[in-house]
Structure 1
Amino acid sequence: MCADQVPPARAEESLPLRLTLDDSDSPSDVVDALFLGRFATGEQPYARSRTVDRVKSGLTLLPPGAQILRSARDDDRSATLAEGDGFTVLISRWNRGADVTVTAVTDALAEKVLGQATDGAEDEPAPQPENVPMGFWYFSPRRGPHRTSRQITAGSWEEVRANYTAPVAEAMDRLMKVSPEEIAGRLLLLHGPPGTGKTSALRTLARSWRDWCQVDCVLDPERLFTDVGYLMDIAIGEDDATGTGRWRLLLLEDCDELIRGEAKHTAGQALSRLLNLTDGLLGQGRNVLVGVTTNEDLERMHPAVVRPGRCLARIEVGPLTRPEAAAWLGTEEGVGREGATLAELYALRRGSHPTAVPTQPQGRAAGLYL
């Protein structure tokens, strides 16, 4: 080495760590900061992490030989910092879920300790015939784009078919039987007044398609198409490890502002990104469908959304006619001349006026007819 050459600085020296805490930080924030120390200095340069959505009851997630250094609990989160021979582990828990991160002196040790802490920790309820696994995406201020999975209850199409007027039922008959080979358009559009059963139909569709399609509901669609990073995480995701070419259906509910006629002006690039996901470059090579529900009339929708070839199905979900509603209810009492929505029929069955707000849920059917 020449005399005028300066040896390269180590990573921890070229990027010094400086943390500032004030009274707005919680004890959990302090635990998080302490955990970074050994990784930042290079003492434990390898890190591995894993999320467990539903931790089995009674598990601490502490690996063997770990000794607790700090433990803090806030209103909605707890943080535990522990160490063992050559490793440090941070366990952040919320409700039933947890994030586990391990730093260690070797990559193999980090992977081993993480496995000891999390292998077999996921609580998998026994599958039921009427249950369907559904993912829920949302943007977390702490973790960024995040997906959690739940088992939801969904009736079979034969059980719920009578909840829809004849033209809708016939259209849904065809949709329920769609196979991957028959997919042409990538957009599934259900529109119509509130309370006609659009959400219930999508739950049943998830059950009908569960052998070949994973259904994910986006809880904050208004952010999805304005945050490019969030959109890429959801749309691109990871390659299908099974090699089976499994499809994904992203559900976006109540997206009136996104697809109405003036959307291009009011929503900026959001509409363009939605369309790009269905049949543009973003959607190329990805088996992704987008299901949208809206209360908008067809005439008010942006023409780009409803153009031929874009929609796999475009179904207007309206109220049942008076004869259909009377047959569903078993009486004509309370049914108007124009018929009734599914929500109104459930209200009549409960013995309340259709416009009344129920004081408490009534049975399994309550809340499934939005």
Structure 2
Amino acid sequence: MSADPVPPSAAEKSVPLRLTMDDSDSPSDVVDALFLGRFANGDQPYARSRSVDRVKSGHTLLPPGSTVLRSARDDDRSATLAEGEGFTVLVSRWNRGADVTVTAVSDHLAEKVLGQAADGAEDEPEPQPENVPMGFWYFSPRRGPHRTSRQISAGTWEEIRGNYTAPVAGALDTLMKVVPEEIAGRLLLLHGPPGTGKTSALRTLARSWRDWCQVDCVLDPERLFNDVGYLMDIAIGEDDSTGKGRWRLLLLEDCDELIRGEAKHTAGQALSRLLNLTDGLLGQGRNVLVGVTTNEDLERMHPAVVRPGRCLARIEVGPLTHTEAVGWLGTEEGIGREGASLAELYALRRGSRPASVPPQDAGRDAGLYL
């Protein structure tokens, strides 16, 4: 049972409202401040909000019967303040996303108006067989931890298997077929030189696992493990609303500093929190896997990261051998004796070659990246 709102007079005494503005504040900041007034003084003590990642073209997010009071547009966002009978609504928009917040004289009215404003506003593209839904987490100074989602294209494993040298392809064969009942470790580690296809493999893994696993990419992993609040929001802040017990795979790309041997000294508590998420108390009871890509050699990684039982998979993704690279490209031209990475092969196929210092002549390992 929820408690009744505090009477306006008592609320004003306990939480006095005082706003200070200077020349660093924008018109949108003023709109945000004006919106708080009726909620703060108790005239409209109920507030409800919703985020919309992709707003349909032409959708204003304003409920029927509302009148615009203020409208401001800055470089990266716009803010619209409107009111209606017994409610006030604030619409904050940036790119294609938006936040809608409603205050009202009753809880029922707040929910009703929010539904009128935001229901049906999400633009959902037609699903394509080659597309996979993937979430992207980042910390916004204005909104805190935030997740947005998009459809990414990913080939099937059969289509891209030839992009990997034989031992790697064999290891990935097994990984692509993993089901929840077979999960023994919570850490998935792909390491090796740049341009060898680690990210491409993870996109295809998301497609192979999409029936039972939601894949989210963390865009700022260095902040994630140094901000406990951010970590909690991502790792255990969301429950599975479908009731299907879906797993989640958090992807952290290029985390060399986090998992190398001296990480305990350079990264502080970040490494400990990563390990705690994979098999410590933080990860208990949560269907969470962590996928890490790094350019580090196995010998330079922290022993705690690669200890037996922690990793679901630990795969070194290297370049194709000379024979494999020639088979992939269909010619020996531009391929060195040591073979070539996937990125180098695509560059050769396009007819371009990477810049090098000093310039390499076509007769000696031409086309190799530095």
Deviates more, 1:250-259 or 1:13-22: 13-22
SS in 1 for 2:343: helix
The aligned counterpart of 2:177 is: 177
Q: 2:190 and 2:286 mapped to 1: Cα distance?
A: 23
Alpha-carbon distance, 1:237 to partner: 2.1
Within a 5 Å distance, the mapping from 1:332-351 to structure 2 comes to 332-351=332-351
1:76-155 to 2 correspondence within 5 Å? 76-155=76-155
Name the CA distance, whole Å, in 2 between partners of 1:355 and 1:288.
41
Q: Structure 1 residue 238: deviation in Å?
A: 2.0
1:15, CA displacement in angstroms?
1.1
Q: Residue in 2 aligned with 1:162?
A: 162
Residues 310-330 of structure 1 deviation map (CA, whole Å, 9 limit, x = unaligned): 000000000000000000000
The letter of the residue matching 1:297 is: D
Please list, as runs of the form range in 1=range in 2, the aligned pairs for 1:181-192 lying within 5 A after superposition: 181-192=181-192
Deviation at 1:355?
4.2
Matches within 5 A, 1:214-253: 214-253=214-253
1:14 equivalent in alignment to 2:34: no
d(CA) in 1 for partners of 2:122, 2:225: 31
Query: What is the Cα deviation at residue 305 of structure 1?
Result: 0.1
For 2:222 and 2:122, how far apart are their aligned partners in 1? 31
For 1:55, the equivalent position in structure 2 comes to 55
The AA in structure 2 aligned to 1:11 is: A
Residue identity opposite 1:133 in structure 2: P
Shift in Å, 1:242: 1.7
Look up the SS of the partner of 2:238 in the other structure.
coil
Is 2:269 the counterpart of 1:265? no
Q: CA deviation at 1:107?
A: 0.3
Segments ≥4 residues shifted beyond 4 Å = none
| Match of residue 209 from structure 1 | 209
Kept after mapping to 1: 8 A contact 2:8/2:42: no
Indicate how the Cα distance of structure 1 residues 307 and 14 shifts in structure 2: closer, same or farther if over 3 A, else same: same
SS at match of 2:33: helix
Q: Cα deviations across residues 26-79 of structure 1 (Å, max 9, x unaligned)?
A: 000000000000000000000000000000110000001000000000011000
Contact 2:165 2:320 in 1 (8 A): yes
CA drift at 1:225: 0.1
Answer yes or no: is the 8 Å Cα contact 1:343–1:354 preserved in 2: no
Give the match's secondary structure for 1:305.
helix
Distance 1:241 1:334 in 2: 52
Deviation (angstroms), 1:14: 1.4
Per the alignment, residue 69 of structure 2 pairs with 69
The structure-2 alpha-carbon separation of the partners of 1:203 and 1:140, relative to structure 1 and needing over 3 Å to count, comes to same
Is 1:37–2:37 an aligned residue pair?
yes
Inter-partner Cα distance in structure 1 for 2:352 and 2:116: 55
Alignment RMSD, CA only?
1.1
Aligned partner of residue 328 in structure 2, secondary structure: helix
Alignment correspondent of 2:362: none
Count, aligned residues: 350
Corresponding letter in the other structure for 1:92: S
Tell me how far 1:8 sits from its aligned partner.
Answer: 11
TM-score (norm 2): 0.93
Which position in structure 1 is the counterpart of 2:283?
Answer: 283
How far does residue 243 in structure 1 lie from its aligned partner after superposition?
1.4
Which residue identity does 1:61 align to in structure 2?
L
- 2:194 matches 1:194: yes
Q: Where does residue 3 of structure 1 map in the other structure?
A: none
**Partners of 1:12 and 1:51 in 2: how far apart?**
29
Structure 1 residue 353: Cα displacement = 1.8
Gaps of 5+ in 2: 1-6, 357-370
Distance 1:207-1:355 versus aligned 2 partners, 3 A rule: farther
TM-score by length of 1: 0.93
| Aligned partner of residue 346 in structure 2, secondary structure | helix
Report the CA distance shift for 1:46/1:8 in structure 2 as closer, same or farther (over 3 A): closer
- Tell me what 1:319 maps to: 319
